[in-house]
Each structure stands twice: as structure tokens, then as C-alpha cells.
């Protein structure tokens, strides 16, 4: 017994070292569970405030670019105005809506919430973006995030107070589904951790016709993003020799190096769909 105590005392430093290493590796591996429990709340509040101050100053240097992109977004929206379109004369007739309920609001599937980027990284292999919205309680887990040009950025994974952490597409655990606009084949997005703005789309069968410059959009299979939001354009098509799938490299439409203002997408369908999925899970167990 005495020898054991002597051993522990002599190697106390080494044991402590192993303990700290073990603890950090535990954090890395059990990241998501631990993150939501403790790390998220405390550290987000601390670093969020510091980041907020920094981004306030930093925003001034990007005002011109932000303005330009807002003008473009406005132009796009103006072009969609209903008053700009006219039906051919033969088809037009005046219809008075007899239903008094505003049916547009009832069937609105997605609504957009603007948010400001507080901190952003592209250099590590697991990148997160922190966004903030002045009104608390509107951002929540699982919301999709797009930039001003409606290009996909990521999904909110953690919320505390005004701040929300977005797991960007440039994260190894980020596996959204993407779809080829031309052929309609759906695959999974993966990031290999090397170049920001270059992501891989896998699980596209070799029967698909893919060419450089093709557009990749969201599939709309999940409730996170509406169908048809831009993800990127194909830069390289690689045929996997061992399987019958393509590996397609593409450039993201969103510029992850320059993010200032983003939109979080709230889906009204998310809650009921998740409820059904939960029920199915419970039935299977």
C-alpha cells in the first residue's frame, strides 16, 4: 500500500498530465453532448460579448460591400414583384377573393430572420460562425442559415441568449444534402478540411450527367432549407474507381471569408415533421 502511495506521489505530474490530456480528448470526442450542457452557455456569453465589440468595429470597413450586395438582393426581389408580370390579355379576368382569411400567411412555409455575424472562422478543420439577433429567443436549434445572396452557409447548432452558433458547411460533421439542378440527383456534402469554399458532393451515381459549371442546390428533403437555394457550382468531377459513384468538387456560392449579414430560416413545418419522426422512432423501439 505504501508503495502505491509512493508511486503516485513520485509520478504525480505525469498522472496529472495524463488526466488533463484525457479530459481534453474527452471534450473533443463527446463534443456535442458536453457542448450543449455547459460549454455553450458559459463560453458563448463570454466570447460572444468580446466578439460583438470586435465585429461592430469591423463592420464599418465592409459597409460598401454590404451596400452593393443589398442593392443586388433588392434588384432580384424587385424583379419578382407580382405587379411586374402581366397575364396575356386573353387569360386575364378580374376575380374577387371570397375567402376573408389571409391564405398566404397560413401557408407560408418559411420565414427569414436577419442576423449579424459576430465571429467567423475558415482556418480550422471544424469551423463555426456566431450570429446574433437583437431580439432574444427567435433563433433556435436546427434553423438553416443563408447569406444575402440566398447561398447556404450552415445550420444553427447551439443558442444562448442573443447568440447562436452556426455549424458552417466547412465542418467535418456538416452533412447536408445537395442536389444537381440539371439532373435532379441528390448527394451528400462533405468537407475535406483543406480549402475553404471547395466542398465535395458524394453519392451521385455515375449515370448522372455532370459537367463543370453545373449548379448544386438544396434538395428540400429536410425542413431546414427551402428547395432550390444555391449551394455552389461544380469545379471538378472525379469518378471513384471502386464504387459506382462520382465525387464532385464544387465551389460554394457563399463566400465564407466575407460574411457580415445573414438570414436564419424559420420553418413552420419543422415542429410537426419532427414530431412524426419522433413517433416513428418510438414505435420502432
Partner 1 sequence: MSSLVKNIIRFVLLMLVQVYVLDKIHLHQMVTPYLYFLFILWLPFKMNRTVLMLLAALLGFTLDSFRHHPGFHTAACVLIAYVRPFLINLLIPQEGAEANYEEPSIRSLGGLLPYIIYSSILIMLHNAWLFFLEAWQFGDAWYFFSKTFLSTIISLMLVIITELIFPRKQRFRTNTAV
Measure Cα distances from 141 to 63, 208, 220 in Å.
Answer: 29, 34, 18
* Paired strand residues for 186: 179
Query: Does 221 sit near partner 1 (CB under 8 A)?
Result: no
Q: Among residue numbers 171 through 210, which ones bind partner 1 (CB under 8 A)?
A: 172, 192-196
Q: Which residue, 205, 202, 208, 180, is CA-closest to 190? A: 202
By CB under 8 A, what part of segment 105-134 binds partner 1? 119, 121-126, 128, 130
Q: Which of 8, 25, 238, 239 is in the footprint of partner 1 by CB under 8 A? A: 25
Binding span for partner 1 by CB under 8 A among 23-31, 177-185, 205-213, 230-238: 23-31
238 near partner 1, judged by CB under 8 A: no
DSSP letter for 138, please: S
Of the residues 54, 78, 112, 221, which one makes contact with partner 1 according to CB under 8 A: 54
Q: Which stretch binds partner 1 (CB under 8 A): 19-27, 91-99, 141-149, 244-252?
A: 19-27
Long-range pairs for 51-60: beta carbons < 8 A, 24 or more residues apart: 51/118, 51/119, 51/130, 52/118, 52/132, 54/119, 55/116, 55/117, 55/118, 55/119, 59/116, 59/260
Evaluate the CA torsion angle 222, 224, 226, 228 in order and state its sign.
Answer: negative
Q: Which of 43, 114, 141, 188 binds partner 1 (CB under 8 A)?
A: 43
Which of residues 110 and 128 has its CB atom nearest to partner 1 in the complex?
128
Binding site for partner 1 (CB under 8 A): 12-14, 16-17, 20-21, 23-28, 31, 34-35, 39, 43-44, 46-47, 51, 54, 119, 121-126, 128, 130, 165, 172, 192-196
Amino acid at each position: 500500500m505504501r508503495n502505491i502511495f509512493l508511486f503516485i506521489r513520485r509520478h504525480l505530474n505525469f498522472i496529472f498530465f495524463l488526466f488533463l490530456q484525457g479530459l481534453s480528448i474527452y471534450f473533443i470526442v463527446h463534443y456535442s453532448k458536453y457542448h450543449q450542457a455547459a460549454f455553450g452557455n458559459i463560453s458563448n456569453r463570454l466570447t460572444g460579448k468580446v466578439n460583438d465589440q470586435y465585429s461592430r468595429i469591423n463592420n464599418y470597413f465592409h459597409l460598401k460591400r454590404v451596400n452593393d450586395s443589398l442593392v443586388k438582393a433588392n434588384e432580384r426581389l424587385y424583379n419578382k414583384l407580382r405587379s411586374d408580370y402581366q397575364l396575356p390579355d386573353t387569360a386575364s379576368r378580374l376575380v374577387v377573393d371570397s375567402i376573408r382569411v389571409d391564405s398566404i400567411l397560413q401557408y407560408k412555409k418559411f420565414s427569414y430572420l436577419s442576423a449579424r455575424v459576430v465571429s467567423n472562422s475558415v482556418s480550422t478543420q471544424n469551423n463555426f460562425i456566431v450570429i446574433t439577433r437583437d431580439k432574444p429567443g427567435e433563433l433556435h436549434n436546427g434553423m438553416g442559415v443563408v447569406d444575402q445572396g440566398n447561398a447556404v452557409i450552415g445550420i444553427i447548432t447551439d443558442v444562448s441568449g442573443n447568440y447562436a452558433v452556426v455549424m458552417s458547411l466547412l465542418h467535418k460533421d456538416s452533412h447536408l444534402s445537395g442536389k444537381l439542378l440539371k439532373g435532379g440527383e441528390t448527394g451528400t456534402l462533405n468537407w475535406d478540411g483543406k480549402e475553404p469554399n471547395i466542398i465535395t458532393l458524394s453519392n451521385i451515381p455515375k449515370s448522372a450527367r455532370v459537367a463543370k459549371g453545373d449548379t448544386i442546390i438544396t434538395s428540400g428533403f429536410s425542413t431546414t432549407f427551402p428547395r432550390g437555394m444555391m449551394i455552389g457550382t461544380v469545379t471538378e468531377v472525379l469518378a471513384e474507381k471502386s464504387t459506382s459513384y462520382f465525387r464532385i468538387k464544387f465551389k460554394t456560392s457563399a463566400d465564407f471569408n466575407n460574411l457580415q449579414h445573414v438570414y436564419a430560416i424559420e420553418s413552420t413545418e419543422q415542429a410537426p415533421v419532427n414530431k412524426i419522426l419522433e413517433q416513428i422512432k418510438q414505435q420502432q423501439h
